[in-house]
Amino acid sequence: KMFFLLFSQIESIPCKICGDKSSGIHYGVITCEGCKGFFRRSQQGTVSYSCPRQKSCLIDRTSRNRCQHCRLQKCLAVGMSRDAVKFGRMSKKQRDSLFAEVQKHRQQQQEEKVGDDTEKGREPQPPGEAEPLTPSYALSTNGVTELPNDLSGYVNGQTPDEEKADSAIGGFYLDIQPSPDQSGLDMDDIKLEPVCDLSSDSGLDQYCCYSNGDSSPTDNELEHLSENICKSHMETCQYLREELQPSNWQTVLQTDLDAYQKKSQEDMWQLCAVKVTEAVQYVVEFAKRIDGFMELCQNDQIVLLKAGSLEVVFVRMCRAYNSQNNTVFFDSRYAGPEVFKALGCDELISSVFEFAKSLTSLQLSEDEIGLFSAYVLMSADRSWLQEKTRVEKLQQKIKIALQNLLQNNQRDEGILAKLVCKVSTVRMLCRHHMEKLNTFRALYPETVHTRFPPLYKELFGSEFEQVLPQELHFELAPLVVHQKAGGLKKRKLEMREKKKKLVMSCNMHQSVPPCHSFIFQPPVLTA
């Protein structure tokens, strides 16, 4: 009985790594889901992290994603290990120590509550009458009520069901297997299933139905949303403001330029895929912190991220763009278009730099970039959205908040219209990127399959995967993604014939609307 009570109350102890709400014992240490996932990813394959500062970065809830090196060192320092034993095999001394720590934290919480009750004039609970140990029906940091997992989930490094859930949600890798130098942000917190009933008056309705009953939000609601988005933006920027100051600008040297240009097309594509994936992971973290996003149904969360993450990466690129010499921060230095010559897509690169230049010319503040990024991400015109009206209301609310911010900053009247026009431009860039990727994929399928980050492959699936219904989607995936090298001409002919048959089959499939967005396959969750 004591063990069960202890299991249910372990989460009263904060994460030993970042101080966030813990979810149990993972790899021998009490941690949150985010730090558990980060440590797991750090132990898979050959991962090398480096600290851009003095190897003494503060690791807490808001800063844990800024330095992977220091975060991993803290994980190791507190005792996280792949070989950690299960709780049931702990010695009596270890169990007693853990139980004492749980009781200590609960006593502290009780004392804090007594203090709060006294300050507010309420009668404090008598000493010695601690709150009963209750099952862990806890409120998570994102405000979504989480049901208790099987007890083994609290103590194992990873359970079989967790393995399935982490590996793919509807084909979208929420738990990323990083390649070397690939960032590992916390994507574990995206919920697998919404617990609240979104058809009721709770849940997302607080973000979609305004308190005055009108079609427009109140000033307080707009101010709260604006502050939330701006704060989330600053907390999830890939590079700190100081790192992008002119005094830190170092352009690519001629020797480095030669090395980049001498790279094979495969190597350069892989490098860029890794860098794009790193940036996308910060965008995912940004989305998770936006009020209302985590309350959307799981399908719509995935649809918005798949369709809009690269668009936000391009928007954020203006922070790292130097208009004086037409360079962008890439691979720890400022690089011009010539650095990317080995990719074999000069027109796309030129368009990306031109977009960064045009957006930079608007001289947006960090807050303006943050709100515009949220507006781009919460686009209600994405195909496959199940609750389009909810997304539409959330996007409209963000647009009004952005408009108010621009007015408060005394910007030109036409700047909002200019920003809205940028949306179509950035979407065109993403389509261009898909075209070039599909061309590269046809030439080097094995490179894409074995060397590209899993998240990148999931976000930018082939043209077949984007238009096929569910049963055809899974039939074709092995052909497109897992092809073996050799016989390129033969494979092209086979793919062309299969494409004809599949397109004909899709035309007969009434349930699949014509669209060019990424397809989302509902997850199959095991009990």
* Beta bridge mates, 483: none
CA distance 268 to 261: 9
pLDDT in the model for residue 84: 62
CA distance 395 to 231: 18
What are φ and ψ of residue 45, in 5° steps? Answer: 80, -170
403 pLDDT higher than 90: yes
Kindly state the DSSP code that residue 29 receives in the 8-state scheme: E
Task: Specify the higher pLDDT residue, 55 or 167.
Answer: 55
Range with the lowest mean pLDDT among 117-121, 317-321, 402-406? Answer: 117-121
52 pLDDT higher than 60: yes
Contact 459, 308 (CB under 8 A): no
**What integer best gives the mean pLDDT of the chain?**
72
pLDDT tens for residues 323-370? 999 999 998 888 999 999 999 999 999 999 999 999 999 999 999 999
Written as six digits, the tokens of 138 are 């806890």
pLDDT in the model for residue 277: 95
Contact 447, 270 (CB under 8 A): yes
pLDDT in the model for residue 490: 52
Close Cβ partners of 214 (under 8 Å, ≥ 6 residues apart): none
pLDDT in the model for residue 154: 26
pLDDT in the model for residue 81: 85
pLDDT in the model for residue 409: 92
Percentage with pLDDT > 70 across the chain:
59
217 pLDDT higher than 60: yes
pLDDT in the model for residue 518: 33
pLDDT band at 41 (very low <50, low <70, confident <90, very high): confident
pLDDT tens for residues 443-459? 999 999 999 999 999 89
Contact 297, 399 (CB under 8 A): no
Task: Specify the higher pLDDT residue, 477 or 388.
Answer: 388
* Run of H or E including 138: strand 138-139
pLDDT band at 55 (very low <50, low <70, confident <90, very high): confident
Task: Specify the higher pLDDT residue, 148 or 89.
Answer: 89
pLDDT in the model for residue 279: 94
Q: How many CB atoms are located within 10 Å of the residue 495 CB?
A: 19
Range 393-403 average pLDDT: 96
pLDDT in the model for residue 11: 67
Task: Specify the higher pLDDT residue, 158 or 409.
Answer: 409
pLDDT band at 105 (very low <50, low <70, confident <90, very high): low
CA distance 361 to 355: 10
Range 135-140 average pLDDT: 30
pLDDT in the model for residue 112: 64
Q: How far is CA 209 from the centre of its chain?
A: 27
2 pLDDT higher than 90: no
> What are all long-range contacts of 361-367, with beta carbons under 8 Å and residues at least 24 apart?
361/323, 362/415, 362/418, 362/419, 364/318, 365/409, 366/230, 366/233, 366/234, 366/237, 366/241, 366/319, 367/226, 367/230, 367/233, 367/405
Range 17-42 average pLDDT: 86
pLDDT tens for residues 246-296? 556 678 888 889 999 999 999 999 999 999 999 999 999 999 999 999 999
pLDDT band at 37 (very low <50, low <70, confident <90, very high): confident
Range 83-93 average pLDDT: 53
pLDDT band at 42 (very low <50, low <70, confident <90, very high): confident
CA distance 260 to 343: 10
Close Cβ partners of 278 (under 8 Å, ≥ 6 residues apart): 181, 182, 183, 238
**Model pTM score:** 0.54
pLDDT in the model for residue 13: 83
pLDDT in the model for residue 399: 95
Sign of the alpha-carbon dihedral angle for 13, 19, 24, 27:
negative
34 pLDDT higher than 80: yes
Range 10-24 average pLDDT: 83
Contact 297, 203 (CB under 8 A): no
Range 437-446 average pLDDT: 95
Kindly state the DSSP code that residue 509 receives in the 8-state scheme: -
71 pLDDT higher than 70: yes
Contact 190, 174 (CB under 8 A): yes
Percentage with pLDDT > 90 across the chain:
42
110 pLDDT higher than 70: no
Close Cβ partners of 467 (under 8 Å, ≥ 6 residues apart): 506, 512, 514, 515, 516, 519
113 pLDDT higher than 70: no
Task: Specify the higher pLDDT residue, 233 or 215.
Answer: 233
Q: Number of C-alpha atoms within 13 angstroms, CB side, residue 155?
A: 17
Query: Smallest Cα–Cα separation from 231: which of 390, 449, 401, 442?
Result: 401
Q: Which residue has the tokens 């699936």?
A: 461
pLDDT in the model for residue 488: 45
